[in-house]
Structure formats: structure tokens, C-alpha cells
Amino acid sequence: MKMFGFLLFSVLLFSACAGNNNAVQETQPSAEPEAQILATSETESEFTGNPIIDEADAGNTETVANDVAAADSKIETIENAEIDNNDMVAAVEEDTESDTDSATEMSQEEAEAELAADMAEGDSASLETIPKLTLDMTTAFVPTASRRISAPYGIRTYRMHRGVDMGLCHGEDRTIVAAFAGVVTKVRNQGRRKGYGKYVIIDHGNGLTTLYAHLASWQVNVGDTLQAGDTIGVGGNTGRSFGAHLHFEMKYHGTHIDPATIFNFEEGTFQSALITLEPQQLLAVEDGYQKELAKHRYYKVRRGDCLGKIARKYGISITRLKQLNGIKGNMIRPGQVLRCS
């Protein structure tokens, strides 16, 4: 009886072991799909995140090259938009710095007002009493050896550019000379970044005054009597300037003259040996410019505009734009009309 019980127990134990071995063999194939899943996730982690490019890289589709290029273009457009936004923020910060600097340094508007006052000294004659201007150009000099006009007289960024800018290149003679005989009435430095920098004004005794601005240095003093061709200084890049040049202005009894009507800068000569200008003609030219400027004096705000963008468009400071329109904060709205000059 005991022997029979022992044999029965052995048979049952053998059967249980055989069943466990079969279960292990049936579960072993599941390890292969698990390895496949892990491998797939590692491959996906190397993708760019762009579905078009990723499918092409994986070989899942026959993507046309233009589609990939279009995807790249979209990404580049988004990145450029982010860069433009950063540039706009930087520009606003730069304008803010400029406004901060204006508290301690002369603003562009103040510089221009001071210069206008300097150029207007002695202009007390009325239109009826102003004689015509006659210039003997046989004794005159072109104020610089440069023959390159970098900015002509006239309207620039919806404002009047009252002189002719002569570009000064590296390695060339930058000596600036008096265009006509006269007396130095002003030697001034408006600042490193503002206004006209270092400039000299000469009164020629016949109602004509000339201005030489953005000088690197001067070699004259107030009260000096100069002959045409005498050295005034060296041309440079001082003041509100973006490159070495001479800013040259002419004014007759308070009315500006386009220097290109007197000088042929490109040839280094004169328009005529004897030049006569009528005051009425000068005023008529000025009136034409003012009528053209009046067309662009006001600006209607569009969606996406900001004060900094509009100020740069019209060549004025944010402070001046806010003053012209009575704006205290920095908020403007689409459809709002702003005076810009």
C-alpha cells in the first residue's frame, strides 16, 4: 500500500514538471516583438519632427524633393519670423536707449533747430528787399576732392535733406576747403552721435552762408577770415552719420539753395562761370518741396505698426513722434492717423 502511494506521487510530480516546461516554451516567442518595439522607439527618437522629411529619411514614402524643400522653406520662414520679431524688439530697445540718451545729449530735433538758428543769423531782410544773388565761380572752389554724391539735396524719407552729401572713401584726400571767401561765424560740435557732429559755418558777406558738417576735425576758429580754397578741416563721420562724408549746405538770406545748381560735383567744376539766382525762384523751388512733403505729413496706422517702426520710416525720433501727436504711452491702434512732420 505504501509502495502504491509512492508510485502515484511520483507520477503526479512528473506530470507537473512536464506542464511547466511546456508553459515556458509557449511564452518564449513573446520576447521577439518586445525587442522590435524597443528598436522602433529608438529609431523614431532620431527623427527631426518634420513628417515629410522623416518619412523620406525612413524610406516609408517616395517623397518628391520639392516637398522636402517646401517643408524646409516653411521652417525657415518661421525661424525668420522669429528673427524679425527679435530684431523689432531690439530696435524698440535701441529707440528706448536713444530716448534715454536724449536726456543727457542733444536730440536730432534740437541739433537741427540749433543749426537752423545758426544759419539764420543775420537774415533779417524781407523778400522785397533781397537782391538777386550773383556768384563769380571763377574764384570759387569745390569744397572736397570727392566726386561721389552719396545723398543729393531734396526729400529723403519724407523729410527735407537740406544739403549734398559727398562720400569720403578710405585712402583719398579728405581735406575740406572753403567754397567762397568769407568769415567763420560758427565752430561747433553737437556730439558724437547726434546732429551734425563737428561743423563749421562761413558767412560770405553777400547774404550767402555755407555749412560744412560731420568733420573729423577743424583747423579754423570763429572770426577767421578765409579765402576760397583755404582749408577748413578734415572730413569724417561725426554726429548722426553712417559713413565718412561731407554734408554741404548753402543758404541765401534764410532760403536754402540746392548746391548742385551751383556746383557740378561729379566733374569737380561749376554749372557756369557766372551764376545768378533770383530770390523768387528759390522760394518757388522751396514751395514745391513743401507741397510734396505735405502729401506725406500724416500716416494712418496699420495692423502690426509700432511707434519705433513709424518713427524710423519718417526719420524722426519716437519722442518727437509722441510730441507731435500728444501720445503719453506707447500704445497706438490701427486706423489712428499720426502727424509725422
Those residues whose C-beta lies under 8 Å from the C-beta of residue 38, and which sit 6 or more positions away, are none
Position 276 pLDDT exceeds 80: yes
The string of pLDDT tens digits covering residues 135-158 is 999 999 999 999 999 999 998 877
296's grid cell: 506725406
Predicted TM-score of the model (pTM): 0.59
According to CATH, what is the number of the domain 108-278? 2.70.70.10
Give the type of residue at 108: Q
Is 152 in contact with 164 (CB distance < 8 Å)? yes
Contacts of 250 (CB under 8 A, 6+ apart): 163, 179, 208, 209, 210, 211, 256, 257, 258, 259, 262
| 203 exposure class (CB count in 10 Å sphere: 0-12, 13-18, 19+) | middle
Q: Residue 315's pLDDT is what?
A: 79
Tell me the pLDDT of the chain averaged across its residues: 74
- Write out pLDDT tens, residues 173-201: 899 999 999 999 999 998 877 789 999 99
Give me the pLDDT at residue 121, please. Answer: 60
CA distance 105 to 111: 10
The CA distance from 16 to 209, in Å, is 119
Q: Are 265 and 149 in contact (CB under 8 A)?
A: yes
Q: What is the pLDDT of residues 307-328, one digit of tens each?
A: 999 888 887 889 989 998 999 9
Percent of the chain with pLDDT over 70: 62
Tens of pLDDT, residue by residue over 201-239, are 999 999 999 999 999 999 999 999 999 999 999 999 999
pLDDT of residue 195: 85
Domain ranges of the chain: 50-101, 108-278, 298-339
The pLDDT confidence band at residue 254, using thresholds 50, 70 and 90, is confident
**Each residue of 6-37: b (16+ CB within 10 Å) or e?**
eeeeeeeeeeeeeeeeeeeeeeeeeeeeeeee
Residue 102 pLDDT exceeds 50:
no
Span 298-339 CATH architecture: Roll (3.10)
SS (HEC) of 72-128 = HHHHHHHHHHHHHHHHHHHHHHHHHHHHHHCCCCCCHHHHHHHHHHHHHCCCCCCCC
Tell me the C-alpha distance between 134 and 255, whole Å.
Answer: 15
- From CA 234, how far away is CA 240, in angstroms rounded? 17
Question: Does 171 or 94 have the greater pLDDT score?
Answer: 171
Q: Are 250 and 265 in contact (CB under 8 A)?
A: no
